[in-house]
Amino acid sequence: MKTGIIFIMAALALSVGCSQPPKTSGTMEQSDKPAYALVIHGGAGTIRRENMTPEMETAYLTALNTALDIGEKILQDGGSSMDAVEAVIVFLEDTPLFNAGRGAVFTNTGKNELDASIMHGADLDAGAVGGVTIVKNPIRLARAVMEKSPHVMLSGPGAETFAIEQGIDTVSPEYFFTQDRWESLQRAKERENQSTGSLFPADYTNKFGTVGCVALDKNGDIVAGTSTGGMTNKRYGRIGDTPIIGGGNYANNATCGVSGTGHGEFFIRYTVAHDVSALMEYKGLSLAEAADLVVHKKLKDAGGEGGLIALDKNGNVAMPFNSDGMYRGYAKPGQREVAIYKD
């Protein structure tokens, strides 16, 4: 089987090269509802085998497996999908490999401005933050907005004041710096100088690296969370789809939970995350059909690059993407997969 795809069947017994790889979407429909299910992504985009060293590949696969371990432990112990999603995303935010928290991409003015959201499928409660610069783990702040404020979305300095009032960890902006992302900004600016007439010069050519997690717990509660630094070279306080409920993130116990990654403007305009749920609710599509239709038809036809992870109320998982690759994985009792590339 192809490098970079690892199936772990039965507990954590690692086996490379066992069964058939999943369809592009990684979708599996099943009738027996599992005790829990968890699906994650670490961003979609131009992620190609030829651009990856074996060391980098191992680092990504290890981080994805660790994230699944963290979430699975909480769900196995009877914890909530809310706690599992928060803990998984905090880990991914703290891991500089991903474009969220530490390791976030830089804006045109050399800052890191972070977006995140979380949604509870039981009651459609949601919390989101946009453009925060000193909050160590924006997903924690998104949860606090949901649980401790009367609002759904806070942005910029106001969101940071709320974080401080709530005792959420803050850091100096330099905490988010990584050399790799800094160099990406310099390359993006060089390309921008060479091109003419670009209205939106944010860098869509690189791998993206946003993180997301959707979990189903033993009570049937679905929670979806997403966190990002946005797009390299973004300007003017741009906020992407990640904190837009229904755009880059959505959860509804009656249908599914969704976390998106890719060119955010398309995810907002096509209300991607809610569209998957709506196709299930109003048209009776399966999770696989709905997720594939949105990513491989609606988004793709519009020129929107990216992918999503989704989980339905029966524990079915979908991970479709129309880009070269997407860091992704899922875990259910006795099943696990982590993967990077299309094949």
- Catalytic positions: 210
Cβ neighbours of 220 (radius 10 Å):
14
Q: State which residue, 253 or 271, has the beta carbon closest to ligand ASP.
A: 271
Does the footprint of ligand ASP cover residue 99 (CB under 6 A)? yes
Closest by CA to 204, choosing from 263, 257, 148, 250, is 263
Contact with ligand ASP (CB under 6 A): which of 60, 98, 208, 270? Answer: 208
Handedness of CA 151, 155, 161, 167 (dihedral sign): positive
Tokens 């988004």 locate to: 299
What is the closest distance, in whole angstroms, from the C-beta atom of residue 219 to ligand ASP in the complex? 29
The CA-based angle 130-323-101, given to 5 degrees, is 30
- Across the beta sheet with 37-45, the strand order is 14-15, 6-8, 335-341, 325-332, 37-45, 211-216, 222-228, 114-120, 125-132, 153-155
Q: Round to whole Å and give the CA distance between 173 and 313.
A: 39
Residues 20-79 that bind ligand ASP (CB under 6 A): 43
The candidate with the shortest Cα–Cα distance to 228, out of 241, 237, 245, is 241
- In the complex with ligand ASP, the residue whose CB is nearer, 264 or 325, is 264
The DSSP secondary-structure symbol of 298 reads I
Q: How far is the CB of 299 from ligand ASP (least distance, A)?
A: 12
Q: What is the distance between the alpha carbons of residues 342 and 25, in angstroms, rounded to a whole number? A: 9
Whichever of 184 and 228 has its CB closer to ligand ASP, that residue is 228
- Least Å from the CB of residue 163 to ligand ASP: 20
- 262, 304, 325, 329: which one binds ligand ASP (CB under 6 A): 262
CB of 264 to ligand ASP, least distance (A): 2
Does residue 327 belong to the site contacting ligand ASP (CB under 6 A)? no
Interface pattern 210-249 for ligand ASP (x via CB under 6 A): x-----------------x-xx--------xxx-----x-
Q: Which stretch binds ligand ASP (CB under 6 A): 13-21, 135-143, 155-163, 260-268?
A: 260-268
Give the whole-angstrom CA distance, residue 181 versus residue 200: 19
Cβ-based nearer residue to ligand ASP, 36 or 250: 250
- Chain positions contacting ligand ASP, by CB under 6 A: 43, 99, 208-210, 228, 230-231, 240-242, 248, 261-262, 264
